[in-house]
Structure 1
Amino acid sequence: MGLLDFLCWRIATLLLLFPIGQECLSVHIANEEPLYIIPGSTLVLRAHIESGSPEEVSAVTWEREPESGAPEGRAALAACPGGSPQLPVQCASNRANVRASVQQQASVLHVSGYAAADAGVYAVTVTGKAGKSSTARCIVREYAEAVHHVSVSINVSHSSLVCGEAWGTEPQFSWLHERDAVTGNVGRVSPDGATLVVTKVPICGHFTCVVSNKLGYSSATYTAAPCETDSISGSTVAIVCLVVLQILAGGLAFLLWRRYQKRNRGDRLRENMDENI
């Protein structure tokens, strides 16, 4: 066997190892983190389908199951046909508040009138014509709790203030110093917003932590010693005002004295003229 025949035989053998028409199929949901929904609103989940060509997709299904993973709580929500539709294709569902569609390598699920029973793990499964499937999941929870019991504590050794909140859903933290937003001159806020590292020396004034979410907000304030800069500026203003008043009083007194001197000089001149006559 010649070298050329040997190489051709090896290449043919390698080509036989790769299956013809293998699908490249995957799906993912935009919301990777747990998604919180306010009761009564509409849950919207969008799944992006990646495939070699849209025609490879034969079916798309949506399901929901409890976070515990109990199989008895699993429920089918919608079943969608595949293909390459130019217009949205509506999916079949036996639930009045569920609506789903497929269009241009994407599937969208709507659950209207969201309630506590709709919480759980939502799964979308895409199946190809060759039988290969891909599944993406998203945890959905009820947005039920406003923020409660906000508190601020100080860590003296680390020159930091820590904001605590009891059980609010998705709390967002922000900081104020003397009613103004905290800047780099005052301190640095941690990535989660709950901790303020104070760079202002010494720590003084009022530090307020505001915790909010979609249902409301609450706040707490840590009060340190009054800032000296405020007292100094107040004293400076008082001193300047006193000096200005003294200057004005002195100037007015000088003008009155000059006027009095001129009047007395005129009277003396008239008296001298009368005596000479």
Structure 2
Amino acid sequence: MLGSSLVLKARMDHGPLEEVSAVTWEWEPETGNATDRVTLASCPGRGLECTGMRPNVHVNVEQQETTLHINGYSGAESRVYTVTVMDHKGAATSAHCIVRTYEAVHHVSVSVNVSHSSLVCGEAWGTEPLFSWFHESVAITETVGRVSRDGTTLIVTKTPICGHFTCIVSNKLGHSSATYTAAPCEIEGRGTTAAAVLCPVLLLLFGGVLAFLLWRRHRHSNRGERLHEHLDETI
């Protein structure tokens, strides 16, 4: 990562009768000519002082290990590093290491493979990407689908494919996401809920009509009694 320290270690396995006479660290561009190779440090054997180092580069050699330490990685140090070990007979052995800058996640996308009922998540060039899948903001369960070992593919078992499927890609520098939107999912139990709501409404309406009819009947009965009493008094 930018601003961090770069540490490269090389193990040197040799027999009891062998002896390291020199260790050399070099670097070169990942794409270029061999003439672009630059010596960072040259160490004449174990325990001796290394020469030719840059101010931010430190190298040390021990019995079976040599270490290259660069402070303040800026990105310009993204190169191919070569360490060469020479024994007391002049035989040389080399090892290489490619160092690249740790990149944030960029340009996440989700594509659908209808024939295989699967969704594929991809991103541009992030380092060590980790993939996570969600359906309607909830982590994927077995009722929805299963995720491939590398996390890039979601095999959907839910039928039909519906709702929002989100892929989140993250690494040490942050995260980014993309969403595939299918047709809206039907709400389970909607018909039962509607019936449960409708029954009390019908009961209320029936009760209201019954109360109204009883009220009218009681009203007409009272009017008949008053009319009968009025006729008796007149006679």
Whole-angstrom distance in 1 between the partners of 2:128 and 2:151: 12
Counterpart selection for 2:33 from 70, 73, 88: 70
Counterpart selection for 2:62 from 80, 103, 106: 103
Partner of 1:253: none
Q: Do the aligned partners of residues 180 and 69 (structure 1) sit closer, same or farther apart at CA in structure 2, a change above 3 Å counting? A: same
Partner of 1:129: 88
Q: Do the aligned partners of residues 103 and 242 (structure 1) sit closer, same or farther apart at CA in structure 2, a change above 3 Å counting? A: farther
Counterpart selection for 2:97 from 138, 150, 155: 138
Counterpart selection for 1:115 from 47, 53, 74: 74
Whole-angstrom distance in 2 between the partners of 1:66 and 1:47: 20
Partner of 1:41: 4
- Contact 1:80–1:92 at 8 Å: present in 2 too? yes
Partner of 1:59: 22
Whole-angstrom distance in 2 between the partners of 1:190 and 1:134: 41
Q: Cα distance, 1:60 vs. partner? A: 1.7
- Contact 1:148–1:166 at 8 Å: present in 2 too? yes
Q: CA RMSD in A?
A: 3.0
- Please show how residues 175-186 of structure 1 align to structure 2 within 5 Å: 175-186=133-144
Runs of 4+ that moved beyond 6 A: 237-243
Q: Do the aligned partners of residues 206 and 100 (structure 1) sit closer, same or farther apart at CA in structure 2, a change above 3 Å counting? A: same
1:28-85 alpha-carbon deviations (Å, 9 max, x no partner): xxxxxxxxxx2222111121222123852222211101112413321111223434x6
Q: Which has the higher helix share?
A: 1
- Contact 1:54–1:104 at 8 Å: present in 2 too? no
Q: Do the aligned partners of residues 136 and 185 (structure 1) sit closer, same or farther apart at CA in structure 2, a change above 3 Å counting? A: farther
Q: Do the aligned partners of residues 184 and 81 (structure 1) sit closer, same or farther apart at CA in structure 2, a change above 3 Å counting? A: farther
Counterpart selection for 2:118 from 151, 160, 176: 160
Q: Cα distance, 1:97 vs. partner? A: 0.8
Q: Do the aligned partners of residues 124 and 232 (structure 1) sit closer, same or farther apart at CA in structure 2, a change above 3 Å counting? A: same
Partner of 1:3: none
* Letter aligned with residue 109 of structure 1: L
Whole-angstrom distance in 2 between the partners of 1:171 and 1:159: 24
Equivalenced residues, count: 202
The answer as to 2:196 corresponding to 1:196 is no
Q: Do the aligned partners of residues 55 and 204 (structure 1) sit closer, same or farther apart at CA in structure 2, a change above 3 Å counting? A: same
Q: Cα distance, 1:123 vs. partner? A: 0.7
* Letter aligned with residue 51 of structure 1: H
1:228-273 alpha-carbon deviations (Å, 9 max, x no partner): 4xx2256656767898x89xx9xxxxxxxxxxxxxxxxxxxxxxxx
Whole-angstrom distance in 1 between the partners of 2:58 and 2:124: 36
Whole-angstrom distance in 2 between the partners of 1:54 and 1:208: 61
* Stretches of structure 2 lacking an aligned partner (at least 5 in a row): 205-235
**Share of identical aligned residues, percent?**
61
* Letter aligned with residue 166 of structure 1: A
Q: Cα distance, 1:94 vs. partner? A: 2.5
Q: Do the aligned partners of residues 183 and 104 (structure 1) sit closer, same or farther apart at CA in structure 2, a change above 3 Å counting? A: farther
Whole-angstrom distance in 2 between the partners of 1:96 and 1:39: 18
Whole-angstrom distance in 1 between the partners of 2:68 and 2:129: 27
Whole-angstrom distance in 2 between the partners of 1:186 and 1:140: 40
- TM (norm. structure 1) is 0.62
* Stretches of structure 1 lacking an aligned partner (at least 5 in a row): 1-37, 250-277
Q: Do the aligned partners of residues 52 and 219 (structure 1) sit closer, same or farther apart at CA in structure 2, a change above 3 Å counting? A: same
Q: Do the aligned partners of residues 53 and 197 (structure 1) sit closer, same or farther apart at CA in structure 2, a change above 3 Å counting? A: farther
